[in-house]
């Protein structure tokens, strides 16, 4: 039975992701930047939280972890490479580790670039990628601690994942990312259509994520960059756009 994912908006533009393994009822949350909105959802759905999955150490992704762990007794899993900058980790994770959410198997992918120890979680049923601030809908993360070369190789670690993979990123950035993407690659017809779809969604107050890897491969200029140099130029241009 598959893993079910639900968005919980937190802070100004973050998403935490609530996961439920349908076979076992196990509940996990990815990147709880603030505890209160997550507690409100959990209490309505039975008051259970088993796991907290953290992708990187930034406060807007870990801010609610300590309170949620204390209230529900949930185990905290996150990048071993950033353990010294994280809340207490019960399960430190490194590249190619696996993590069970009930009967659902999550694969850990090291994705340095935005931060030095950033990780992503991939589940295959359905194909689902929780990538924090690495790959965004129509964008990629700022290079706060890593290099363009690292980010280029990081983004290509997703090459083996199917087009149907749902991309659950950490922020609602798609509309602003679309403006830059159109500026950078104005002749991409698929991007033009997508930008219009995004405009309609946001006008209705609706989320634009999850995206899919197939859609990102067709429209995201960072994922489509053919060289490290091209990615570096895009990232620099986006930083000052």
Residue owning tokens 């500026």: 183
Active-site residue, selected from the candidate residues 34, 50, 56, 118: 56
Catalytic: 200? no
Please compute the mean of the pLDDT values over residues 114-140 and round it to a whole number. 97
160 Cβ contact list (under 8 Å, min separation 6): none
Please compute the mean of the pLDDT values over residues 230-238 and round it to a whole number. 98
For 37, phi then psi, to 5°, come to: -65, -30
Catalytic: 60? yes
Please compute the mean of the pLDDT values over residues 104-110 and round it to a whole number. 97
Provide the terminal-to-terminal Cα distance of the chain, rounded to the nearest Å: 44
Residue-wise pLDDT tens digits, 67-100: 999 999 999 999 999 999 999 999 999 999 999 9
For the beta carbon of residue 76, count every other beta carbon within 10 angstroms: 21
pLDDT score of 1 more than 90: no
Please report, in range form, the residues annotated as the binding site for Zn(2+): 56, 58, 60-61, 114, 133, 171
Spatial separation of the C-alpha atoms in residues 91 and 77, rounded to whole Å: 4
DSSP-based three-state secondary structure for 76: strand
Catalytic: 118? no
Residue-wise pLDDT tens digits, 152-170: 999 999 999 999 999 999 9
Please report, in range form, the residues annotated as the binding site: 56, 58, 60-61, 114, 133, 171
Catalytic: 57? no
CATH number of the structural domain spanning residue 71: 3.60.15.10
Active-site residue, selected from the candidate residues 21, 31, 34, 133: 133
Give the global pTM: 0.96
Spatial separation of the C-alpha atoms in residues 22 and 3, rounded to whole Å: 6
Task: Give percent of the chain with pLDDT exceeding 70.
Answer: 100
Catalytic: 61? yes
Task: Give percent of the chain with pLDDT exceeding 90.
Answer: 98
Query: Of 203, 183, 200, which is closest to residue 138 (Cα–Cα)?
Result: 183
Domain hosting residue 49, numbered range: 3-239
Residue-wise pLDDT tens digits, 186-227: 999 999 999 999 999 999 999 999 999 999 999 999 999 999
Query: How confident is residue 110, by pLDDT bands cut at 50, 70 and 90?
Result: very high
In total, how many domains does the chain have? 1
The rounded radius of gyration (Å) of the Cα atoms in the chain is 17
Active-site residue, selected from the candidate residues 31, 57, 118, 171: 171
Query: How confident is residue 63, by pLDDT bands cut at 50, 70 and 90?
Result: very high
């Amino acid at each position: 039975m598959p893993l079910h994912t639900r968005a919980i908006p937190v802070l100004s533009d973050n998403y935490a992701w609530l996961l439920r393994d349908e076979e076992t009822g196990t509940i996990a949350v990815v990147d709880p930047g603030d505890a209160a909105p997550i507690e409100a959802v959990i209490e309505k759905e039975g008051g259970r939280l088993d796991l907290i999955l953290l992708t990187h150490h930034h406060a807007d992704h870990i801010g609610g972890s300590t309170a949620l762990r204390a209230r529900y007794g949930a185990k905290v899993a996150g990048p071993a490479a950033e353990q010294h900058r994280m809340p207490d980790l019960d399960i430190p994770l490194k590249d190619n580790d696996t993590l069970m959410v009930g009967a659902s198997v999550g694969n850990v992918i090291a994705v340095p670039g935005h931060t030095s120890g950033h990780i992503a979680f991939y589940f295959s049923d359905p194909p689902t990628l929780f990538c924090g601030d690495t790959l965004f809908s129509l964008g990629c993360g700022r290079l706060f601690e890593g290099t363009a070369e690292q980010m280029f190789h990081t983004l290509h670690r997703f090459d083996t994942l199917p087009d149907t993979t749902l991309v659950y990123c950490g922020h609602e950035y798609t509309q602003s990312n679309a403006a830059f993407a159109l500026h950078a690659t104005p002749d991409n017809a698929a991007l033009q259509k997508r930008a219009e779809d995004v405009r309609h969604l946001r006008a209705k107050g609706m989320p634009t994520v999850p995206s899919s890897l197939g859609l990102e491969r067709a429209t995201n200029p960072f994922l489509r960059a053919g060289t490290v140099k091209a990615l570096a130029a895009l990232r620099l241009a986006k930083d000052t756009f």
